[in-house]
Structure 1
């Protein structure tokens, strides 16, 4: 894989850390800014909404800009938003910085997905996507627990400063590693790289948006959103399961989050080698196992060892299936070369926003803190029910090429 892919993954790591880090910082933020924890929780919603709306909006705005300029601009705005958030004493201002950071994150990811596809041959897009998304999985392993620890030691503002600082090496890497012009040689990687541009050489924006009327594209976007909703429904509420059902201390929460993150890294890496040529194998294998795993996790949650093992495997299966479906979005959106990444980003974040909301409704039921795990199972079941009669349609376009 080309070096620029790993530079993009570094930026995705910083952004993934920011997206998930608030789970461990909300009480501190609420106390410092004199708001309730529930009000502070709106910062998470602000980020999710910004990601959903920002993906197509930012990709549409950036389609006439060179890829390197777009990526660099988004990273710098993301860093500046965190610096502003770290210095403010106003909750509305902090809320606004989260929206701006989410818009920059969405724009970056939308362009980066398209860029990643353009850096490799047409039959290796799944592997390229796996490298890019590894930044998110490593964020769950190291970035989020590290951010929580830094916040506990030095306060929530230190975590915001850390994310702002972490974005700067990624910006330098993009500037040095991503070619500014088509065919320009990357001095770090050696051989000339393919064009990395978001300038629309063919379809007009209206034609690219018209791709959203294609049933096959909408199908894989829906499936990707459902699987990601299931992932975030369970992941978001792992902490109360650890301290409640499993009866473990709070220090075990980062351990469980790291296990889930480690599993997700394994899953996205393995699926990256299969999603280009054998997506059907991933769907038919990971799908049923993921469906069985969420209820099993609810049943054995009181046994710590079983909990640890299943959390790892659910992380692996969730990201294996989810990344494969998002790869299918890129293939099916071949007629939208500058907007394909935004469609994939939107699908991911619709799931990320809806999953926790759905899971939260189960907490007041008889199953209590285990409710989110059952919600995850239902969401996966729905995805499988939709996909079963359409399996041939989903994998039929596996050799469709994203327009370069």
Structure 2
């Protein structure tokens, strides 16, 4: 794999840490800036909205630029947003920096996904994407606990400074290693760049829409359960709060394993992987929802569901990118929007379910979302004149 992919993964690691670590910093932000916990929670919502808006916007604006410049510009804005957030005493300014950081994050990820598929041969694209998405899973394993520890030791601002510093280092490396050429294909190809309307027309593709929709549902289920995992672990299964970081780390380790395995299989056996892992993921959510009060279920199913969720999710991303070959600069944006729509939908539904179904509610919602995804895939397969699902 090209060194560039690992540099991009470092940037994705920093950005993933920024996205997920904030939940652990909300109490400190609330106390320091004199706002309620509910108001501080808007920082997470602001980031999510920025991710949805930023992916297509940045990809469309930067599509005439070489990837080097677009990636560098997004990282530079991301760094400046975190520096501004770390310096401010205004909650309104902090909220604005979160939205701007998310715009930059989404734009970077959209362009990075497209770039990753162009710097490797066609038969290794899923593996290249797994390297990139490995940055997100490592953020769950190491970045979030490290950021929470920094916040505990030196305050929430120190976590923002650390993310800014790591992103600045990645910015230098990305600027040096990203190819300057503007061609949207693998080296050796001379295909001209399509106009924006032609790329957007690829959204008419049933295959692309199907994989984007399935990806949104699976990611919604993943982040519904992950967002409320602490509640599931403590209030549901009765584990002490000090064990929550360990459970989160187990989920992250499983996610990293799932992405790694999917990267090796998705290019050649993606259909089989979805046929096996999709129903297994559904069975796992059903089991966890039924055993929500069992500590043993937490220890077994946290890593298993992390692995299956990210194996299925990353495979769907790879297949979305393959279906979006007619949109070489916007394909990554399509996938980024789908994933973040799921990341918005899942936690909202999970939060609503807590009032009606108790601590098992988010697990029930995750079960329902994956059940819809598996059902849609089966129905689509039957409608394709008996052809296997892709």
Other-structure match for 2:271: 280
Other-structure match for 1:238: 229
Change (3 A) 1:9 1:211: same
- Structure 2 Cα separation of the partners of residues 344 and 323 of structure 1: 10
**How many Å apart are 1:202 and its aligned residue?**
2.8
Other-structure match for 2:192: 201
Change (3 A) 1:11 1:200: farther
Q: Does 1:117 align with 2:108?
A: no
Show CA shifts across 1:336-381 (max 9, x none).
111000001011100011100011111011x311110010000000
Other-structure match for 1:131: 131
Show CA shifts across 1:273-292 (max 9, x none).
11112111111111111111
**How many Å apart are 1:135 and its aligned residue?**
0.2
Q: Does 1:314 align with 2:312?
A: no
RMSD: 2.1
- Structure 2 Cα separation of the partners of residues 134 and 145 of structure 1: 17
- Structure 2 Cα separation of the partners of residues 396 and 209 of structure 1: 27
Higher helix share: 2
* TM-score relative to the length of structure 2: 0.95
- Structure 2 Cα separation of the partners of residues 243 and 153 of structure 1: 24
- Structure 2 Cα separation of the partners of residues 238 and 391 of structure 1: 33
Other-structure match for 1:40: 40
Change (3 A) 1:96 1:195: farther
Provide the aligned length of Structure 1 versus Structure 2: 387
Equivalent residues of 1:280, 1:391 under 8 A apart: no
**How many Å apart are 1:300 and its aligned residue?**
2.9
Q: 1:359 aligns with which of 337, 350, 357?
A: 350
**How many Å apart are 1:247 and its aligned residue?**
1.7
Other-structure match for 2:367: 377
- Structure 1 Cα separation of the partners of residues 187 and 80 of structure 2: 28
Mind listing any 5+ residue stretches in structure 2 that lack a counterpart?
A: none
User: Higher mean Cα deviation, 146-155 or 105-114?
Assistant: 146-155
Q: What's the secondary structure of 1:275's corresponding residue?
A: helix
Map 1:178-257 onto structure 2 (within 5 A). Answer: 178-181=178-181, 194-195=186-187, 201-257=192-248
Mind listing any 5+ residue stretches in structure 1 that lack a counterpart?
A: 184-192, 399-404
Q: What's the secondary structure of 1:278's corresponding residue?
A: helix
Equivalent residues of 2:48, 2:102 under 8 A apart: yes
Equivalent residues of 2:67, 2:111 under 8 A apart: yes
Equivalent residues of 2:127, 2:264 under 8 A apart: yes
